Amino acid sequence: MSQINPQQLELWLAKSALGDQAAFKQLYDATASRLNGIAYRILNSIDSANEVLQEAFIQIWNKAGEYRSDLAEPMTWMASIVRYRAYDRVKFEKRRIEGSQVRADLEDFESLPDGAGQKPMFCEIGQQLEGCLAQLEHTQQHSILMAYYYGFSREEISAHFSTPVNTVKSWLRRGLVRLQQCLEN
């Protein structure tokens, strides 16, 4: 692999910032394979690496005017964009996979019958806690179980009840205070 001339990359970036598509094509041709390699090493998927590379070059085109040679070499700057895009993709994929698990857990939670059908679940965490939970309002009880037993986020609970996140936070806070008071008696 030949060394890429940083001054040439700077020139192509500067011209790209001015809307020169030919310079941008030269920049792409000179750097795409190396940048794609960075994305592939992070994502371990050719398709995902290609998508990230495309997104990164769109960002490079849009942000070329923001490049500062006093802060980084051009290749370092572009590689950072690719890396951040790739790590964002990893986080997105992880959330997507976890999200499907959350939906499955939520379906399991929603299929639980009210009342006596919940007793086996409550017995696992203690009869005193079962009695204290039973004293809470329905929304507080279910919010606490969803948050602290099933691991749902405040946003997921908010979506489940079609209510603002701040309301869910209030339910949880007040419900936990009531549980603590009940358990202390």
Average of pLDDT values for 35-59?
92
Nearest Cα residue to 140 out of 113, 179, 108: 179
Q: For residue 61, what are its two tokens?
A: 């085109």
Average of pLDDT values for 152-165?
86
Nearest Cα residue to 24 out of 56, 66, 70, 57: 57
Q: For residue 44, what are its two tokens?
A: 């371990």
CA 32, 35, 38, 39 torsion: positive or negative? negative
pLDDT at 181 over 90: no
- What single letter denotes the amino acid at residue 108? D
Residue with the larger pLDDT of the pair 71 and 129? 71
Return the pLDDT at 36.
94
Mean pLDDT of the chain, nearest integer: 81
| C-alpha separations of 150 from 3, 111, 162, 176 in Å | 53, 14, 18, 16
- What single letter denotes the amino acid at residue 153? S
| C-alpha separations of 108 from 17, 102, 134, 142, 149 in Å | 52, 10, 20, 13, 13
Return the pLDDT at 87.
86
Core vs surface per residue 115-150: b (16+ CB within 10 A) or e: eeebeeebeeeeeeeeebbeebeeebbbbbbbbeee
Helices (H) and strands (E) in the chain, counts: 9, 0
Burial of residue 159 (number of CB atoms within 10 Å: 0-12, 13-18, 19+): middle
56-70, 94-108, 129-143, 163-177: the lowest-pLDDT one: 94-108
- What single letter denotes the amino acid at residue 133? L
- Apex 90 CA angle, 89 and 94, nearest 5: 115
Return the pLDDT at 54.
95
Q: For residue 151, what are its two tokens?
A: 């691991």
Q: For residue 56, what are its two tokens?
A: 């990164």
Average of pLDDT values for 2-18?
90
Q: How far is CA 133 from the centre of its chain?
A: 32
Q: What is the pTM of this model?
A: 0.52
Q: At what angle do helices 74-110 and 154-161 cross, to 10 degrees?
A: 50
